Amino acid sequence: MTENRRQILDMLSEGKISADEAERLLTLLEQPASGGTRGSDTGEGRKSSPKYLRVVVEEDGESGSERVNVRVPMALIRSGVKLAALIPGDATKRMNEKLRENGIDIDMGNLKSEDLEDLVDALADMEVDVQDGKEHVRVFVE
Amino acid sequence: MILPPSLLRIRIRNKNTSFSLWLPLFLIWPLVLLAMVILSPLVLICAVLLWPMGLAKPVLLTGPSLFRLFCSIKGLEVSVEKSSERVLISVR
């Protein structure tokens, strides 16, 4: 553990990774230790569930670099879905129709908090990394 | 136990000015509690009235769900930077 931490700090001092990336890696290193206590609650061998959804957008323009960094707690997404589950059936139908009109074919009535837990667990392995010229978009969980 | 957010930090920095604002959200906790106590009998009456229409459950659960949503905001952070300008909104 200490060796890994030192490697990350070395990479940071050499400028191979940014401070944000170093922070993320250090957080990932700490996760197994904190996940051990949570493991007894959620079952053996299960990974600790991610806490935050991160969206990072970086752009190196002519007028200088732009950076957008958003950190959304997973608990907020969970609470939002639970709140959405309380929407009455009629309203859900109307929402679905409007979404379909706009090309989004999602049945809001099917969004259930039980399914969301599996989805959030699956998100732990997800990382979207898109680079187009000077623009860089990353979506990941931590 | 889930606690509501206690601090909202807003930081704005540009070429000329830079300031950081800490809003003590914990000061509104008593007000939220008071509103919950006052509204709970009304919500209960509404739930009883809307029971035949099948809307009692959403009416009863909306309040706690909104409170949970409010508590879940803790940890939200939005940061926008452009050269020497920066806006940071952080809920703690």
A17 phi and psi angles, rounded to 5 deg: -130, 155
Give the gap in angstroms from C-alpha B34 to the nearest C-alpha of chain A: 22
Q: Where are the beta strands (DSSP E) in A1-142?
A: 52-61, 64-73, 127-132, 135-141
pTM: 0.69
Condensed to tens digits (0 to 9), the pLDDT of residues A127-141 reads 889 988 888 999 998
Q: Does B72 touch chain A (CB under 8 A)?
A: yes
A56 phi and psi angles, rounded to 5 deg: -125, 125
Interface contact flag, A75 B72, Cβ < 8 Å:
yes
Q: Does B75 touch chain A (CB under 8 A)?
A: yes
Predicted pLDDT at A47: 58
**What contacts 24+ positions apart, CB below 8 Å, involve B33-40?**
B36/B63, B36/B67, B39/B63
Q: Does A86 touch chain B (CB under 8 A)?
A: yes
Predicted pLDDT at A60: 83
Distance of CA B92 to the CA centre of its chain: 11
**Higher-confidence position of A85 and A44:** A85
Condensed to tens digits (0 to 9), the pLDDT of residues B10-53 reads 999 988 889 899 999 999 999 989 999 999 999 999 999 998 88
**Total residue length of chain A:** 142
**Higher-confidence position of A45 and A24:** A24
ipTM value for the complex: 0.83
Q: Return the biggest CA–CA distance within chain B.
A: 61
